[in-house]
C-alpha cells in the first residue's frame, strides 16, 4: 500500500477516532467520580486503596501487568480497531 494514501486516510478519520477517545475518557471519568467521595465544596477524594492500585499500575510496564489488567487495556484498544480497519480497507 502507498504510505501517503494511508497517511491521508488516517488523517481523514482523526475526528472519528477523537470521538472514540472522548467516549473512553468520559467513561473513565464517570467511573472515577463514582468511586470518589464527593465533598460539599465540589472536591472529589479518591479512596486510598484506589490511589495505591492506580499508582502501582502507572509504574508497571504493560508486559508486567496481570492478565486482567492487560485485558482491560486491550478492551480499550478494540474500540479503535473497527474504525482503523475500515479506513485501511477503503484504500
pLDDT in tens, 75-85: 999 999 998 88
Query: Whats the size of the chain, residue-wise?
Result: 91
**pLDDT for 74:** 96
Host H or E run for residue 37:
strand 37-38
Residue 49: its H or E element: helix 48-59
Residues 67-75 have a mean pLDDT of 96
Query: Taking the domains of the chain in order of start, what are their residue ranges?
Result: 3-89
Q: Which residue has the cell 508497571?
A: 60
Amino acid at each position: 500500500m502507498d504510505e501517503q494514501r494511508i497517511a491521508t486516510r488516517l488523517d481523514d478519520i482523526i475526528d472519528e477516532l477523537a470521538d472514540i477517545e472522548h467516549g473512553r475518557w468520559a467513561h473513565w471519568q464517570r467511573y472515577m467520580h463514582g468511586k470518589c467521595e464527593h465533598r460539599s465544596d465540589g472536591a472529589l477524594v479518591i479512596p486510598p486503596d484506589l490511589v495505591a492500585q492506580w499508582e502501582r499500575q502507572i509504574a508497571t510496564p504493560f508486559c508486567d501487568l496481570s492478565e486482567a489488567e492487560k485485558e482491560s487495556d486491550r478492551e480499550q484498544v478494540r474500540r479503535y480497531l473497527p474504525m482503523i480497519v475500515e479506513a485501511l480497507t477503503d484504500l
